[in-house]
Amino acid sequence: MSSGAGRMTSWFPTSWSPGPVLLRLLLAWVALGFLAVALPSALPAWQWTGTSILGLCLLAVVQLGLDPGIKVQRDVAPSLPLGEWSTVRIELRTENVPWWRRTPRWEIYDHHPARAETRALPWVLRRGRTSSEWRESVARCDYELRPRRRGAAEFGIVEVWRSSFLDLLRRRYTPKASRTVRVLPNFRPILSEGLAGIEEHMIRSGFHLQRRRGEGLEFQELRDYREGDTLRQVDWKATARRGRLVARQFQEERNQQVVLLLDCGRRMHAMEGDLTHFDHVLDASLLLGYVAHRQGDAIGMQAFAGEERWLPPLRGGGSVNRLLDAIHDLQTTGESPDYSSAAARLMERQKRRALVLLLTNLRDEDAAELLAAVRMLRRRHLVVVASTRELALTALRDQLVEEHRSALEISAAHHYLRARTEAHERVRAAGAFVVDVEPPKLPHALVARYLEIKRAGQL
């Protein structure tokens, strides 16, 4: 397992419980007592049965009352991906348990994080009667866990029920095995496609990339003239020295800055499948951070409408990890987004020109305030407004009208989407780029817009 293994812990007994066999014996003893009331000749049998049950219980208490001679260890990775199944291992280690202290059955319950699903819990360990089975020093319990919430996830105690012989009594032990792990956005499936996959997707969709000279391009190297090069690319001094045509090779300017402006307000809490809109936004942010790093640009972040966070644009090999550390535990709030205040704070912090990507869920009633924020940011920065659109609205708009109620719902969806489109058009008219897509499509759409801006030399 991972290096995030929990340390070995000892056992601490906390409570006792009767087993199912003891409950059945007591029920039979009570029934025999009723019989002894009606038939006095059955009284000695009732007394002998009660004494035998008591004697067996005393032996069970002696067996369970001693140190069981084992220790527990939980192995779990220090970071778990959101919404993905991960393996957690619990190890029980024995320490030369003598035959008279051996118990045939253990039940293991792990107090895993509350916002998580599990498979293969509780775990039942049954020991046979052969001594060879008891010479095994380690018993392993593997179960699967799928976190449903990002941020810090707390593992509590490992609860174990130890059964006596004949399953007469059970005793509960709770080793102190608490552990905190991080639940991170799971952007690996998107990242696995890589930059080449993103560009291929853009070409398939009909978007053709073109190189242009402009303030977004910088000189890379001299090379031989090729068919298709323009005369503006010819370096005439180098051509005269070498006696053949030499062209200048340009590349997208590096050392630029990209800032993500993340809306943590109430509208981003809407669910889309197993993830919220905000989870999809974080996936897109991390993918964009990875691509920006590959392009040599610095990536930064500011969160608003909730906890205030600011990460200045950073460049280098650790930039994506620093971005991940900054956003992995961000949560949505019940606040409404204050675009103007967020823009004013960003203007104070970010003095250098940058590409600012505002990720939100724009409604038509927000248009006036958002326009003011865009105009403020446009004084210094290039602005992209990326707005997530609910899948249910598109599905409702495309439905066929079958009854009066559905007609009203479909009409409302058309009205809402039209008003939303008009709000986006006003944002475009204010000089910002607009990306309006459903949350699962946001990562590719955001990267496509970034690369388009880079290739066009607009930043």
Question: Residues 426-453: pLDDT tens digits?
Answer: 999 999 999 999 998 898 899 989 988 8
7, part of any domain: no
Q: Which two tokens stand for residue 53?
A: 């049950």
pLDDT in tens, 230-271: 777 788 888 888 888 888 766 555 578 999 999 999 989 888
Task: Report the alpha-carbon distance of residue 200 to residue 287 in Å, rounded.
Answer: 16
113 has a pLDDT exceeding 60: yes
pLDDT in tens, 283-300: 999 999 988 888 889 999
Looking at residue 205, its pLDDT comes to: 45
Same domain, 258 and 172: no
Whole-angstrom CA distances from 408 to 78, 140, 389, 399, 412 are: 50, 58, 20, 12, 6
Same domain, 412 and 447: yes
8 A C-beta contact, residue 321 and residue 184: no
Same domain, 242 and 325: no
Same domain, 232 and 293: no
Same domain, 239 and 379: no
Q: How many domains does the chain have?
A: 3
Which residue has tokens 């590349």? Answer: 251
| Contacts with 332 (C-beta within 8 Å, 6 or more apart), sequence order | 264, 265, 266, 268, 269, 276, 278, 306
Range with the poorest average pLDDT among 7-21, 73-87, 200-214, 376-390? 200-214
8, part of any domain: no
Range with the poorest average pLDDT among 83-87, 210-214, 351-355, 427-431? 210-214
Instruction: Tell which wins on pLDDT, 218 or 350.
Output: 350
Peptide bond into 175 cis (omega under 30): no
20, part of any domain: yes
Looking at residue 137, its pLDDT comes to: 59
Structural domain span for residue 297: 188-194+199-208+254-456
Same domain, 170 and 289: no
Same domain, 115 and 51: yes
Same domain, 100 and 225: no
> What's the average model confidence in pLDDT over 401-413?
65
CATH number at residue 442: 3.40.50.410
pTM score, two decimals? 0.72
131, part of any domain: yes
Looking at residue 190, its pLDDT comes to: 64
Concatenating the DSSP letter of every residue in 92-137 gives EEE----GGG--SEEEEEE---SSEEEES-SEEEE--SSHHHHT--
Same domain, 246 and 260: no
Most trustworthy range by pLDDT among 146-150, 315-319, 356-360: 356-360
pLDDT in tens, 140-174: 889 999 999 898 999 988 888 888 888 888 888 77
CATH number at residue 85: 2.60.40.10
